[in-house]
Amino acid sequence: MNALATKIVRWIESQGPISVAQYMNLCQFDAEGGSYTAHQTIGRDFITSPEISQTFGEMLGLWVAQTWHDQGRPKSPRLVEMGPGRGTLMADALRAISAAAPEFLDSAEIVLVEASPALMKVQREKLKTIGADIAWHEHFDDALVDRPLYLLANEFFDCLPVHQYVKTERGWCERMVGLTNGGLSFALSPDPVPATVIPPTHSSAANGAVYETAPAALALTEEIARVVESRGGGALIMDYGYDMPGFGETLQAVTDGNFVDVLNEPGDSDLSAHVDFLALARAAATTGAAVHGPTTQCKFLADLGIGERGERLIKSNPHDARTIAAAIDRLVNPALMGTLFKVLTIVPKNAPQPPGYGYD
């Protein structure tokens, strides 16, 4: 049992069982043992899309440039990336923006939202020669709501905490983390949650059904959409997830590329859950903003021109042709990342249709 597990056990012994969402927060953000605040796990446990091919970040940079241009090139835009990992996506995006719309960067403020001190150091090193002033924020906060917002969130929302509810004979009960023989274990709350917690459409679920919801993700999406609607800009959310209602638990833990027990050695693995894109879309729509998608990553990137970009790269680097082609195929192949990963776009209600949806 590692130090964080011991800390959580003592917490439960004194306070009682905690929710799955509380457990995820402790695993990720505990000051001494959290995977993001105390360790640098991005890149160790997951290979994210920007690390697979430079074309991914370039496509997102071109999306920003085109969206900004289509909206009349508003002054003083703010480019924000949520959870920027090693900084690779932002580096590739800025290179593409600089080539396609250098005037965007003349007055743009660039912000990376990052909770990990270790990753901030990696990002600063990666971006130190990029030729742009970059600010870091620990959270998406009130300082980021006063300008046109162009926001990129790739593989960020899957890390936000989820609550899990299980249908039982006595009603929907929240899944908790408690103790069995001194070790961490899952259990159900003895009393069912109020009916208002569960969507009415779920009332006919069979016993044993699991309903996951991520209030933090919904609140953040609504906040971002409100800024986009009032100030202009656009938000692009890309992640693995689902776009149809249903039941099931998706919480997972990964260590060194392998799936492990969620309760084993907390803080030493990356915890994540599949994103409910329909729920995010509904949250964004409550602000009056226009919501496009969710669609699949393969359709979105194809419409942005990732195939054509790949062909140009291969022509310039013929010796790397097989590697370049394989990397792009991994991003867009429906059997790999192409359909598992979804894309949701938020723009002001009167804005032109954003790039990436020309196939509709």
Separation of CA 204 from chain center: 31
Q: Give the chain's largest Cα–Cα span.
A: 65
Q: Measured between alpha carbons, how far is 316 from 63 in angstroms, rounded to an integer?
A: 23
Q: Measured between alpha carbons, how far is 54 from 51 in angstroms, rounded to an integer?
A: 7
Give the number of other CB atoms < 10 A from CB of residue 3: 14
Separation of CA 42 from chain center: 13
Mean pLDDT in order along the chain per 10 residues (360 residues): 94 96 93 70 60 94 98 97 96 96 95 93 93 92 96 97 97 97 96 93 92 97 98 98 90 91 93 96 98 97 96 94 95 95 97 85
For the chain, the structural domain boundaries read 49-159+215-244+267-347
Instruction: Using alpha carbons, select from 127, 205, 225, 107 the residue that is nearest to residue 165.
Output: 205
Q: Measured between alpha carbons, how far is 238 from 158 in angstroms, rounded to an integer?
A: 10
pTM of the model: 0.94
Q: Measured between alpha carbons, how far is 121 from 105 in angstroms, rounded to an integer?
A: 23
- pLDDT score recorded for residue 32: 77
Q: Measured between alpha carbons, how far is 226 from 217 in angstroms, rounded to an integer?
A: 14
Q: Look-up: residue for tokens 């001190």?
A: 117
For residue 119, the one-letter residue type is L
Q: DSSP character for 193?
A: P
Beta strands of 138-251 (E only): which ranges? 149-154, 163-168, 171-180, 183-188, 210-213, 233-242
Q: Measured between alpha carbons, how far is 23 from 305 in angstroms, rounded to an integer?
A: 41
CB 162 within 8 A of CB 213: yes
- pLDDT score recorded for residue 50: 86
Which superfamily is assigned to 49-159+215-244+267-347 in CATH?
Vaccinia Virus protein VP39 (3.40.50.150)
CB 171 within 8 A of CB 194: no
